[in-house]
Structure 1
Amino acid sequence: MRTPRPMTIALLAAVPLLLGVGLVLAGGDQPVSDTDPPGPPAGSPVMGTIAGAVARPDGSPVADAGVLVASLEDPAVAIPEIGVRTGTDGRYEWRLRGGRYEVTAVAGTRRTAGTATVVPGQTVTLDLTLR
């Protein structure tokens, strides 16, 4: 049996690297699934805002209420924070990725929920009244 020459070993080690570089340069680093939705065009916003107020049945604002969201999309949209709190005026604001969400307000033992569709680059208003 012959012992391989050092040049042959170097060439065999370089072939996978050269093939990988060639695939990337030829555009081979593209998604392989045609079922994935296309991403937003470059430079377009992906975040929108849900804003509103949490109130009691008599209309008075609820300060420091917890506001939570859950994605209604399939697959679910990632949510960057666990929740937000209302201010002293009962208002909240939350920047989220575009998609449909269930929004729940909680204060003590009272809670209420509604749904909203976030549109990138826009603000949607969702006011909630605790029950």
Structure 2
Amino acid sequence: MGHVRTALLVGLLVLGGCGREAGTSSSGGQPPVSPSGQVVIAGTVVDGAGLPVEGALVQPRSVDDPPRPVPELAVISGPDGRYEWGLPAGRYEFTAVKGDRTSAPVQVTAALGTTDALQEVPLQLP
């Protein structure tokens, strides 16, 4: 079972890194919007002591009815625990996974043209 989980995780890591571009916004309070019209959601994965967690698998799940498609399976947190993700406008539940640890889910609303999508989505691993 451990080998299957490891193989799946490696596959997701490879897919999560495909087509992802890091960037910053200078839009003066407006959420950054990618050229495809997606809202960029950013956050940090930390451990119980508040230290950044590198290499955590961050996954959103649409909680809209009907669910919205998620363009990538997952993204990986960087050395500073940071991640960012371009998503269509909608409501999502984010979780982070590393090894056998999973964060509590955090809900966020990604909305074009509002500051709601710019909120930090912190994820804490136990």
TM-score range, shorter chain: 0.5 to 0.7
Cα distance in 1 between the residues matched to 2:70 and 2:119: 17
- Specify the alignment match of 1:86 in structure 2: 77
**Structure 2-normalised TM-score?**
0.65
Cα distance in 2 between the residues matched to 1:94 and 1:109: 23
Over the aligned positions, Cα root-mean-square deviation in angstroms equals 1.4
Identity %: 41
**Contact 1:49–1:124, Cα closer than 8 Å, also in 2:** no
After superposition, residues 1-131 of structure 1 pair within 5 angstroms as 46-112=37-103, 113-121=105-113, 122-131=117-126
String of CA shifts for 1:32-79, please: whole Å, max 9, x gaps.
xxxxxxxxxxxxx74112110000010110001000111000011111
**Contact 1:117–1:124, Cα closer than 8 Å, also in 2:** no
Q: Specify the SS of the correspondent of 2:52.
A: coil
**Structure 1-normalised TM-score?**
0.63
Which structure's residues are more often strand, by fraction? 1
Q: Unpaired segments of 5 or more residues in structure 1?
A: 1-44
Cα distance in 2 between the residues matched to 1:59 and 1:83: 22
Q: How many residues align?
A: 87
Q: Cα distance, 1:85 vs. partner? A: 0.3
Q: Cα distance, 1:125 vs. partner? A: 1.5
Q: Cα distance, 1:119 vs. partner? A: 1.1
Q: Cα distance, 1:96 vs. partner? A: 0.1
